[in-house]
Structure 1
């Protein structure tokens, strides 16, 4: 057997766990599906409110607001304007803070 075949492979200089991630690429939106039919109206209202509150909570976290007490109604509403959604109600603002509290 040739001596070259018996040599051990050199160890990699970088770990394979460290991979470059490109964060500046725009997110690909998830395909929208129609909501299930036949539910009471209140279910749809609550569902859409949760989606909006989650979008706002994510936007606030991305902007550096990590604590629920930092997220006043004015801050949440200005963030809604930045991301292009209608200004949230007081109930939705409360839900945004609840999401932030839950995820701590």
Structure 2
């Protein structure tokens, strides 16, 4: 039997990062929500929901390439809120988003 010719190893396919989708390019699915604990005062619920919103916005900004709090101006945060489908945040929530980004550095 004739000997088979040695085969060259095939190069591994690579994916360019130039066209890799950013998370904001993908549709956000609504999260499954659980009920909040009863019996708290109204201020607790407001603060809790504000923190959740700020956390979602900070994650979306980080996914879109905004890593420094100085880059996250109020207009940037509000446009990101529209992209991910949440109501435009208040000035207080925008400040909280920047504080979260500072803490994550």
TM-score by length of 2: 0.71
**Cα distance in 2 for residues equivalent to 1:44 and 1:80:** 20
Number of aligned positions between the proteins: 82
RMSD, matched Cα:
2.1
- Higher-Rg structure is 1
Structure 1 segment 15-94 matched on structure 2, within 5 A:
31-94=32-95
TM-score normalised according to structure 1 size: 0.71
Q: Which runs of 5+ in 1 are unaligned?
A: 1-23
Runs (4+) off by over 4 Å = 24-30
Distance in 2 (CA, whole Å) between partners of 1:63 and 1:80 is 12
Q: 1:50/1:60 Cα in 2 relative to 1: closer, same or farther (>3 Å)?
A: same
| Counterparts in 2 of 1:81 and 1:26: CA distance versus 1, 3 Å | closer
Long gaps (5+) in structure 2: 1-22
Corresponding residue number in structure 2 for 1:12: none
Measured in 2, the distance between the counterparts of 1:72 and 1:89 equals: 12
SS state at 1:88 partner: coil
